[in-house]
């Protein structure tokens, strides 16, 4: 058995590195053709309490590295057959060991020619013979610590990935649950609406004024609940459905959104000032239009009584994104509410004052997320609001069409 392990002890059979009692230890590979030099190095670093693995040739070292992870390799330069440099080159060629630190062991007389060649092969350090025990131990211990830390990071990362996977699953289950609840709630609701309407139409003569008033209230409450459920369903659909992304001219999307807001614009005699928009964004046109409709309709809606809405729209371009801003002259929003208004059913006003279900901005935020973008707001009470949407530019996605799965 040419290979030996054990912290400076007699040569023994290889110990599986990841067995329980070896959990904390890391492997240090020492490669030298001369047993006396191997023993000398082993004696010095045994104090570190790690697994020392000895190889008597480059080939043997390479064989060992095929299966096992090592913290650092101490590699003699002058060996018959594969010398240290050739071995290092082969170690570097392999994915598994391309980043494993190598410390070359070499005689002082060879230093000059060796040092530059060694560094070009990715050596992290040199130790010159005769070896100074403290120097060797300190250098090796640095790489042992580094390896342990890396191992910890890897394991934390794995735990994190697992946790993310679990959370994603939980999230998907919750969204599916919301969808089915919302979907199933609509059927009895429609029955309530239908029968109260029938009551009002077919039995109007038999109901006195209060009876008719009560039936009317059932109708309007059922309608409001149906609106809420429909909005929840649209939000849930936006979260779950597959959407195909591609280049979309912003101006075309805005034109379409403005067309949908036309009745509101006319009713309020609003002024819309739009800068020339030439940008394209990486998006889904339908989702983008819906997002703009939500933002525009808010700008037209949340305006003090008697004030004529004035909405300004412009863009700014970064290297990777386009930012669209929609500025209004409305009632504004205090900064402590900036985050919460993007959540489902969060509203700052009564429906009597400003009608709505409070899902518009949640949809805007979800849509931005699904298209790889971001949204935000800057505002002050009584001084209007500026909502912005940042979306990737198509140049960032050179491979044409792409899609975003549900989630
Ligand atoms: N431009 C704005 N100016 C002032 N307040 C706003 C503006 N946009 C949104 N808000 C505030 O944020 C809340 C949430 O907006 P969101 O669009 O989600 O709901 P909504 O407009 O009330 O209802 P919906 O859009 O679902 O019909 C609003 O109720 C309002 O209080
Ligand atoms: Mg809204």
Q: Which of 231, 297, 327, 341 to mutate to test the pocket of ligand 1 (most atoms within 8 A of CB)?
A: 341
Q: How far is the CA of 101 from the centre of ligand 2 (A)?
A: 58
In CATH terms, 154-240 corresponds, of 1.10.10.60, 3.20.20.70, 1.10.287.130, 1.10.101.10, to 1.10.287.130
Rounded to whole angstroms, how far apart are CA atoms 313 and 388? 10
The pLDDT value recorded for residue 349 is 86
Q: What is the pTM of this model?
A: 0.64
The pLDDT value recorded for residue 115 is 72
The torsion of the CA quartet 163, 166, 172, 176, rounded to 10 degrees, works out to -140
CATH class of 20-131: alpha beta
Q: Which segments of the chain belong to CATH 3.40.50.2300?
A: 20-131
Q: Which segments of the chain belong to CATH 1.10.287.130?
A: 154-240
The pLDDT value recorded for residue 124 is 77
Rounded to whole angstroms, how far apart are CA atoms 283 and 371? 6
In CATH terms, 243-404 corresponds, of 3.30.565.10, 3.30.2320.20, 2.60.40.420, 3.40.50.10470, to 3.30.565.10
CA distances (Å), 287 to each of 292, 317, 383, in order? 9, 21, 29
Per-residue pLDDT of the chain (407 residues; tens, 9 = 90+): 334 444 433 333 444 444 444 458 999 999 999 999 999 999 999 999 999 999 999 999 999 999 999 999 999 988 998 889 899 999 999 998 999 999 998 876 566 666 777 777 777 788 887 888 999 999 999 999 999 999 999 999 999 999 999 998 998 888 888 888 888 888 899 999 999 999 999 998 899 999 999 999 999 999 988 888 888 888 888 888 888 999 999 999 999 999 999 999 999 999 999 998 889 999 999 999 999 999 999 999 999 999 999 999 999 999 899 999 999 999 999 999 999 999 988 999 888 889 898 999 999 999 999 999 999 999 999 999 999 999 999 987 655 445 565 54
The pLDDT value recorded for residue 238 is 87
Strands (E), 259-367: 271-274, 280-283, 310-317, 321-327
CA atoms within 13 A on the CB side of 63: 10
Strand order in the sheet with 243-249: 280-283, 243-249, 402-404
Q: Which of 290, 295, 298 to mutate to test the pocket of ligand 1 (most atoms within 8 A of CB)?
A: 298
The pLDDT value recorded for residue 14 is 40
Q: How far is the CA of 294 from the centre of ligand 1 (A)?
A: 9
The pLDDT value recorded for residue 407 is 47
The pLDDT value recorded for residue 406 is 52
Q: Which segments of the chain belong to CATH 3.30.565.10?
A: 243-404
Number of residues written out for the chain: 407
Burial class of residue 237, CB neighbours in 10 A (0-12, 13-18, 19+): middle
User: Which protein residues touch ligand 1 with a CB less than 6 Å away?
Assistant: 231, 294, 298-299, 302, 328, 330-333, 341, 346-349, 356-362, 385
The pLDDT value recorded for residue 112 is 66
């Amino acid at each position: 058995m040419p290979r030996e392990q054990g912290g400076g002890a007699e040569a023994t059979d290889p110990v599986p590195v990841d067995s329980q009692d070896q959990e904390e230890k890391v492997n240090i590979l020492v490669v030298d053709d001369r047993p006396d030099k191997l023993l000398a190095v082993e004696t010095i670093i045994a104090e570190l309490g790690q697994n020392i693995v000895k190889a008597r040739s480059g080939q043997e070292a390479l064989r060992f590295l095929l299966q096992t992870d090592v913290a650092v390799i101490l590699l003699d330069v002058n060996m018959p057959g594969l010398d240290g440099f050739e071995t290092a080159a082969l170690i570097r060629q392999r994915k598994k060991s391309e980043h494993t630190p190598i410390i070359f062991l070499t005689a002082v007389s060879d230093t000059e020619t060796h040092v530059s060649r060694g560094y070009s092969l990715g050596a992290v350090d040199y130790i010159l013979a005769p070896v100074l025990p403290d120097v060797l131990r300190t250098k090796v211990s640095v790489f042992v610590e580094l390896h342990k830390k890396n191992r910890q990071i890897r394991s934390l990362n794995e735990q994190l990935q697992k946790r993310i996977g679990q959370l994603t699953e939980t999230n998907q289950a919750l969204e599916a649950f919301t969808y089915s609840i919302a979907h199933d709630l609509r059927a009895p609701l429609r029955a309530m609406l239908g029968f109260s309407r029938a009551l009002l139409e077919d039995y109007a003569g038999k109901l006195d004024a209060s009876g008719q008033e009560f039936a009317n209230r059932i109708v309007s409450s059922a309608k409001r609940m149906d609106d809420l459920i429909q909005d929840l369903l649209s939000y849930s659909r936006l979260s779950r459905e597959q959407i195909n992304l591609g280049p979309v001219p912003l101006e075309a999307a805005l034109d379409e959104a403005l067309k949908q807001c036309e009745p509101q614009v006319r009713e309020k005699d609003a002024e819309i000032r739009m800068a020339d928009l030439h940008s394209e964004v990486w998006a889904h046109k339908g989702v983008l239009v819906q997002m703009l409709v939500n933002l525009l309709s808010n700008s037209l809606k949340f305006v003090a009584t008697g004030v004529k809405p004035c909405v300004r729209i412009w863009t700014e371009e970064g290297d990777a994104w386009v930012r669209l801003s929609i500025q209004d002259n409305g009632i504004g929003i205090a900064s402590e509410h900036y985050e919460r208004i993007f959540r489902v059913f969060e509203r700052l006003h009564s429906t009597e004052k400003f009608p709505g279900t409070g899902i518009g901005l949640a949809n805007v935020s979800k849509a931005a997320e699904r298209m790889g973008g971001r949204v935000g707001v800057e505002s002050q009470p009584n001084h209007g609001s500026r909502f912005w949407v940042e979306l990737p530019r198509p140049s960032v996605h050179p491979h044409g069409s792409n899609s975003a799965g549900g989630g």
